[in-house]
Amino acid sequence: METQKLEGIARTQSDNLAVLRKGGKIPAVVYGNKVEPMSVAVDAIPFQKTLRKAGESTLVDLSIDKKEPVKVLIHDIQYHPVRGDVVHIDFYQVNMKEKITTHIALEFIGEAPAVEQLSGTLVKNMDELEVECLPGDLVHAIEVDISVLNTFDDAILVKDIALPKGLEGQDDPEATVVFVEAPRSEAELEADLAAPVSEQEAIAQIASVEEKPNEAEDAGEEGK
């Protein structure tokens, strides 16, 4: 079981969140099943490092005010709509004896012969799987070996993926995870170019072109 460590401080509802953020801290809340919600804050830089290593499927030992750490998952992250920095975090405190349902990222490994030799395009329909497990069985990622994709008729389904011990898949076993799409022929490309454009599509294209100068003007006004 992989675990990351993170420290934080308790905060009150009256704390000025803007001041906290300017001081390099991120407001957060810790909650869970039969757990009293607690308002906390963590340092932005250590959190970013933890997020890169843990993602949302690795346990984090969160210590508040230097007290005994609790096991949490990074459950939800809110980003600033313009700057893109983290403005709030939800930590979910787990009970190590109770199963949880969460999503684990897929890590595609190997090379697909249908891509390398047949010039196909790898199409990923899913980039994570929903699983149920005990917190101690969580893994950072689930590997999917795409070297079995030899032809354009091959596909990897959910049921084809070997889950690590302790994980129970919750997705449709017949759902397609990844496959290789055949390269388009010149005839198909020419057919697309020759296909008539509907009135709605034409209006959308015109609107898109007309919006760009306005966006540039708006950006210029903000710069002033």
Condensed to tens digits (0 to 9), the pLDDT of residues 86-99 reads 999 999 999 999 99
| In a shared domain, residues 54 and 35 | yes
| In a shared domain, residues 11 and 89 | yes
Overall domain count for the chain: 3
| In a shared domain, residues 20 and 76 | yes
| In a shared domain, residues 56 and 109 | no
Quick one: pLDDT at residue 214? 45
Domain boundary pick from 71, 93, 115: 93
Could you list the residue range(s) of the whole structural domain that residue 68 is in? 3-93
Rounded-to-integer distance, Cα 119 and Cα 172, Å:
30
| In a shared domain, residues 121 and 148 | yes
| In a shared domain, residues 48 and 112 | no
| In a shared domain, residues 31 and 77 | yes
Residue 205 pLDDT class (50, 70, 90 cuts): low
Q: What percent of the chain has pLDDT over 70?
A: 84
Radius of gyration of the chain (CA): 24
Domain boundary pick from 51, 70, 93: 93
| In a shared domain, residues 84 and 152 | no
| In a shared domain, residues 136 and 115 | yes
CATH number assigned to the domain comprising residue 104: 2.170.120.20
Q: In this model, does residue 213 exceed pLDDT 90?
A: no
- Beta bridge partner(s), residue 58: none
Arithmetic mean of pLDDT, 76-80 = 94
Do the beta carbons of residue 38 and residue 10 sit within 8 Å? yes
| In a shared domain, residues 108 and 166 | yes
| In a shared domain, residues 18 and 56 | yes
| In a shared domain, residues 153 and 212 | no
- Whole-model pTM: value is 0.74
Among 52, 80, 68, 63, CA closest to 9: 63
Domain boundary pick from 66, 93, 120: 93
Alpha helices in the chain (DSSP H): 17-22, 44-54, 113-116, 186-194, 199-223
Tens-digit pLDDT profile for residues 10-61: 998 788 898 999 999 999 999 998 899 999 999 999 999 999 888 888 899 9
CA distances from 108 to 32, 59, 169, 179 (A): 32, 22, 18, 12
